[in-house]
Chains A and B, each alone.
Chain A
Amino acid sequence: MMYSPAIIAEAVVNGLMTGAVYALIALGLTLVYGVLHIINFAHGALLTAAMFAVWIAYDAFGLDPYLAILPLTPLFFGLGYAVQRLVIGPASHGNDSNILLVTLGLSITIENALLAGFRSDTRTLNTDYGFQVVEFGPLLLSKPRLIGFGAALLVTVLLWLLLARTDTGKAIRAVAKEKFGASLVGIDVAHVYAVTFGLGCACLAVAACLLMPTFYVNPRIGQAFVLVAFTIVVLGGMGSIPGALLGGLFIGVIESLCGLFLGDSLGQIGIFLIFILVLLVRPTGMFGAKA
């Protein structure tokens, strides 16, 4: 079978657009890993929760998903802060494998609470711009996904500025490097952990708002994203922000191309094989420091 260059180009561009939102999801994960040195298994379930929040905002209050970014981002920041401060921190007694299990427990609880509350129905938003397209040379691009692409890049830059230029960012980086030293110079480590976790959740809220105009939500949807996000984080190097962005774009393109050549049911397998290969061959990723 032959594929015309236009079809392949379109798959690549579509992959880049999906990849930018993947990158945003992975950004939250990699930030939490870089600072707390834990893998947050609840990341996918929290994304599902955020997507339901967008759906509720639209369905019950008629709030446009892009406007929902304004209330939901601080809301999820607060939620993340509270979860780390009140649940993960105290429950794990500072032990890494405990954190792994606590976040796994959280993810099971959140996912099934959503299942109990909303049942397993799939829900979508019916915005009037959901199917609008933009002509871009020979390519037809979905308008909401283009917006998602731009917004995801913008948030990445903002997050990077926050870490690089603000006092909070400096404190976060200090804790990531050496938490004992940071606490000696007067940084409240538990607070910084919670802020970092909050930022990770805030990224998810933005990602959910950008996804919902073209995507759907059901209680299990987070699982589909979380493994992809893990792959991106491992590929880009755990804790690396540019790594998450490039990894996200790369994985988006790979998934899109695998879907084109292998069909939908096998499309995701390319991602997992890359994931396993990277873990086995170079677990520090493309941009990660030596573990």
Chain B
Amino acid sequence: MTFRDIAPIVVLIALLAFVPAFITANTVLNFLVFTLIIALAAQGWNILGGFGGQFSFGHAAFFGTGAYAAALLQVSLGINPWIAFAIGTVAGAAVGWVIGYLSFRSGLRGSYFALVTLAFAEVLRILANAATFTGGAAGVLIKLDVRPGNFQFESRGTFFWIALALVGSVLLLTRWIERSRFGAQLVAVRENEAAAKALGVDTLRVKLGAITVSGAVTAAAGGLYAQYFLYVDANIAYGTWISVEAILAPIVGGLGTVFGPLVGAVALHGLSEITKLAAGSVPGIDLMVFGGLLVAAVAFAPAGILGLLRRSARSRGAARHA
């Protein structure tokens, strides 16, 4: 990676880090932290789906594993929340590897891969909802104990910085993947798996690597969610909502790009707040708009918002030269 690869990321994160200095309203900070958590989950999806072309419809499996691990390890076993968060992230990677190993080894791709990931997430949701050690349908409540050593903070601004730091690290990680040999192989698998294989790419290993990293990142988002809201249940952690969020943000923002998931998450949730203001508290209205946007993005902007921006910048440049 060169300086030019890293500079835009560092500048963006540094600028965003000033946000809590200007915005102190809790509702706005809540919105920002939630959006960053979604962006992080979507960044995980983007590594597998955007760069690798493997569309998972069940990233809730990773998000939920991260969330439950973070919550249960501290509540049931008394493990420090920071360590619980780290273990949750590793657990997400492990779940990613297992699901990946089972489905990629069986040669599942396209719609079949989407279906099998969806089914894995549903199995985990049903199990978490029925098992006793997960607190069943009542969920897990993390006790309020505000200490930095306990991953709980007085100010929401601190939490914003932590979420931002994680999103920033994954931006760098994604940039590294994009520039690395592994990333090139991953894109080759997306574009034409048979051709990649014929050229000697170990496609199974590449896809497994992608789903493992993807699982870890999305699990980190789950752990962060648990730590911020201090509550987890099966429908939050393993619910289809997060799988859908993780798919939507990269597609709306820009599939297979470094900034796509972050741009998409901010755009979607910004829009959702605006619709809520405009339409009042009609349930489902914001998601209705999300669904419409997904169709519109696929139809008119296959490269997402970033693609549209790049296109308009290029045509403006062309106009200047003409």
* Alpha-carbon gap, A119 to B112, bound state (A): 33
Interface contact A119-B288, CB-CB below 8 Å: no
CB-contacts of B107-159 with A (<8 A): 107-108, 110-112, 114-116, 118-120, 122-123, 126-127, 129-130
B27 in contact (CB, < 8 A): no
* Least CB distance, B127 to chain A, in whole angstroms: 7
- Size category of the binding interface on chain B: 35 or more
B206 contacts A by Cβ under 8 Å:
no
- For residues 244 through 291 of chain A, which have their beta carbon under 8 Å from a beta carbon of chain B? 265-266, 268-269, 272-273, 275-276, 279-281, 283
Beta-carbon nearest neighbor of B129 in chain A: A265
Query: Is B285 in contact with A265, judged by CB distance below 8 angstroms?
Result: no
Is A106 an interface residue when CB atoms closer than 8 A count as contact? yes
Q: Are A276 and B116 neighbours in the complex by a CB distance under 8 Å?
A: yes
Q: Is the CB of B111 within 8 A of A265?
A: no
Is B298's CB within 8 Å of the partner chain A?
Answer: yes
Q: State whether A112 and B298 are in contact (beta carbons under 8 Å apart), knowing that A39-B115, A272-B123, A281-B106 are contacts in the complex.
A: no
Quote the shortest CB–CB distance from B58 to chain A (angstroms): 11
Chain B positions near chain A (C-beta within 8 angstroms): 53, 55, 57, 102-103, 106-108, 110-112, 114-116, 118-120, 122-123, 126-127, 129-130, 240, 244, 247, 251, 282-285, 287-288, 290-295, 298-299, 302
Complex contacts, A275 vs chain B, CB 8 Å: 115-116, 119
Q: Are B298 and A101 in contact (CB under 8 A)?
A: yes
Docked Cα-Cα span, A230 to B111, in Å, equals 11
Contact, CB under 8 Å: B288 / A113: yes
Of A97, A230, A276, which one neighbours B110 at CB under 8 angstroms? A97
Beyond the given A116-B283, A116-B284, A120-B283, please list 18 additional residue pairs across the A-B interface where CB-CB is below 8 A.
Answer: A38-B111, A87-B295, A91-B295, A91-B298, A93-B299, A96-B110, A96-B111, A100-B110, A101-B247, A101-B251, A108-B294, A109-B291, A112-B285, A227-B118, A227-B119, A268-B126, A269-B123, A279-B106
| A214 touches B (CB below 8 Å) | no
A-B contacts, 27 listed (Cβ < 8 Å): A91-B295, A93-B299, A96-B111, A97-B55, A100-B111, A102-B298, A102-B299, A104-B247, A104-B291, A108-B291, A109-B291, A109-B295, A112-B284, A112-B287, A115-B284, A116-B284, A116-B288, A120-B283, A227-B118, A227-B119, A230-B115, A265-B130, A273-B123, A279-B108, A279-B116, A279-B119, A283-B112
Chain A residue with the shortest CB-CB distance to B300: A91
| Residues of chain B within 8 A of A120, CB atoms compared | 283
> Does A107 touch B at the CB level, under 8 Å?
yes
A206 within 8 Å of B (CB atoms): no
Chain A residues within 8 Å of B, Cβ to Cβ: 38-39, 41, 87, 90-93, 96-98, 100-102, 104-116, 119-120, 219, 223, 227, 230-231, 234, 265-266, 268-269, 272-273, 275-276, 279-281, 283
Find the residue from A91, A104, A227, A230 having the highest chain B CB count within 10 A.
A104
Contact partner, B282, options A41, A92, A116, Cβ 8 Å: A116
Assembled-state Cα–Cα distance A131/B151 (Å): 55
Q: Are B244 and A108 in contact (CB under 8 A)?
A: yes
**In whole Å, how far is A174's beta carbon from the nearest beta carbon of chain B?**
23
- Given A97-B110, A102-B298, A106-B295, A234–B115 Cβ distance below 8 Å? yes
A283:B119 contact, CB within 8 angstroms: no
Q: Which residue of B lies closest to A234 (CB)?
A: B115
Please indicate the chain A residues that have their CB under 8 angstroms from the CB of B282 in the complex: 116
**A107 surroundings in chain B (CB, below 8 A):** 291
Task: Give CA–CA (A283, B108) in the complex, Å.
Answer: 8
Determine the chain B residues whose CB is within 8 A of the CB of A116 once the complex forms. 282-285, 288
In the complex, chain A residues whose CB is within 8 Å of the CB of B285? 112, 116
Chain A interface, >50% SS class = helix
Report B98 CB to chain A, min CB distance, Å: 12
Query: Bound state CA distance, A116 and B290, in angstroms?
Result: 14
User: Chain B residues with Cβ under 8 A from A268's Cβ?
Assistant: 126
Do the beta carbons of A102 and B295 come within 8 Å of each other?
yes
Q: Known contacts being A97-B55, A227-B119, is A280 close to B102, with CB within 8 Å?
A: yes
- A23 CA to B274 CA, complexed, in Å: 42
Of A96, A105, A275, chain B has the most CB atoms within 10 Å of the CB of: A105
The 9 closest A-B pairs by CB, nearest first: A108-B291, A115-B284, A109-B291, A105-B294, A112-B284, A91-B299, A105-B295, A112-B288, A112-B287
Separation of A230 and B115 alpha carbons in the complex (Å): 8
| Cα A217 to Cα B174 with chains together (Å) | 44
Minimum C-beta distance from B109 to chain A (A): 10
Q: Are B287 and A92 in contact (CB under 8 A)?
A: no
- Contact of A283 with B298 at beta-carbon distance under 8 Å, contacts A107-B291, A112-B288, A113-B284 already known: no
Residues of B within 8 A of A227 (CB): 118-119, 122
Closest to A39 in B: B111
Contacts of B293 in A (CB 8 A): 105
**A105 engages B292 (CB within 8 Å):** yes
Q: How far is the CA of A109 from the CA of B285 in the complex (A)?
A: 9
CA distance A113 to B290 in the complex (A): 11
Which residues of chain B are within 8 angstroms of A93 by Cβ–Cβ distance? 299, 302
With a 10 A CB-CB cut-off, give which of B283, B285, B295, B302 has the most chain A CB atoms.
B295
Q: How far is the CA of A231 from the CA of B119 in the complex (A)?
A: 9
* Distance between A132 CB and nearest chain B CB, rounded to angstroms: 33
A108 touches B287 (CB 8 A): yes
Contacts of B103 in A (CB 8 A): 279-280
Q: CA–CA, A111 to B284, complex, Å? A: 8
